[in-house]
Amino acid sequence: MTIIVTGGAGFIGSNFIFHMLGKYPDYRIVCLDKLTYAGNLSTLSPVMDNPNFRFVKLDICDREGVYKLFEEEHPGMVVNFAAESHVDRSIENPEVFLQTNILGTQVLMDACRKYGITRYHQVSTDEVYGDLPLDRPDLFFTEETPIHTSSPYSSSKAGADLLVLAYHRTYGLPVTISRCSNNYGPYHFPEKLIPLMIANALNDKPLPVYGKGENVRDWLYVEDHCKAIDLILHKGRVGEVYNIGGHNEMRNIDIVKIICKALGKPESLITFVTDRKGHDMRYAIDPTKIHSELGWLPETKFADGIQKTIAWYLDNRQWWETIISGEYQNYYEKMYGNR
């Protein structure tokens, strides 16, 4: 079995590649990644010499390049993680989100149609459902919740999801879609809440909490997400959407306080800054379908996962210090300088 994994030099894609190469010694994994600011080849160094692994620097929007790769590799499956993934960046510059997240998805599926595959899996997000109110803790996102997006990022992901389902219905492409809640764990790019707060706290820098910090996210350890996708690929029903989440809702401010405590840093570092435009209040996944159909349950409790994550950032300072010492400085100044 050869699987093309797009976006494998990013956070979740790299964790997925490690999971698959570890679990399936007979599988060949071909990672296709453009290496944008969010892609990091050093992340893949543990598998670069693995004979079952190949890395190809390529844009998923590059139709000719993608078709050539399919001709070379004859993949049985494609798992599409490649995306512009940061909401704040989408608010600054939506265009690249539409290009990669929608048009790139189309190119990949056209290649799948042309060359034939047994499964195209689209890695989507709970953000396509919009948000839930804070005063209705009884409400959760199910697979039937209407699409109701807030940001250019979530709109681009929703557009891609609709296209994936259309390719299934119109052309019979064997697709699945997963919509996961917020991930955390190793190799998370330091523009996102948890790694940003860990890096800033370790550098005794202010911890910029948007608004009042009351927004709620439903956190899942990245390995649990990877295991869920593995299950969907092997046992999921074609044409179906599966929500992934572990009932672990946390307020942003509480996460930041946990990080301060774990690192022995004062809460006085917390700085409330101007809110994100269109900021979603609460995400909460109902994972009943993937649990009852495929038997998936999260294995890592948040209390353990966050300690493992913090330990990883302490042990791998070079990985994130290299990232935040470069172009990231300009990004940080632009986003947080006058906030």
Q: Which is nearer to ligand DAU, 160 or 173 (CB)?
A: 160
In angstroms, the CA 122 to CA 318 distance is 32
Among 15, 149, 182, 300, binds ligand DAU (CB under 6 A): 182
Q: What is the dihedral of CA 204, 279, 84, 155, to 10 degrees?
A: 180
CA-CA distances (angstroms) from residue 114 to 58, 110, 132?
19, 6, 40
Give the position of tokens 């969907």.
232
Chain residue at closest Cβ approach to ligand NAD: 10
249 binds ligand DAU (CB under 6 A): no
Taking residues 103 to 142 in sequence order and writing x for each that binds ligand DAU by CB under 6 A, - otherwise, the string is ----------------------xxx---------------
192 binds ligand DAU (CB under 6 A): yes
Contact between 82 and 106 under an 8 Å Cβ cutoff? The reply is: no
Give the number of other CB atoms < 10 A from CB of residue 292.
9
Mind telling me the catalytic residues? Answer: 126-127, 153
Taking residues 274 to 293 in sequence order and writing x for each that binds ligand DAU by CB under 6 A, - otherwise, the string is --x------x----------
Contact between 143 and 289 under an 8 Å Cβ cutoff? The reply is: yes
| Residue count, binding to ligand DAU (CB under 6 A) | 19
Look at residue 211 and give its three-state secondary structure: coil
β-strand 119-125 against 77-80: which pairing, if any?
parallel
Among 85, 101, 122, 150, binds ligand DAU (CB under 6 A): 85
CA atoms within 13 A on the CB side of 4: 32
Closest to 257 in 3D by CA, of 201, 302, 192, 312? 201
Among 111, 196, 229, 244, binds ligand DAU (CB under 6 A): 196
Binding site for ligand NAD (CB under 6 A): 6-7, 9-13, 33-36, 38-39, 59-61, 81-85, 100, 104, 123, 125, 157, 180, 182-183, 189
Q: Which is nearer to ligand NAD, 269 or 313 (CB)?
A: 313
Chain residue at closest Cβ approach to ligand DAU: 125
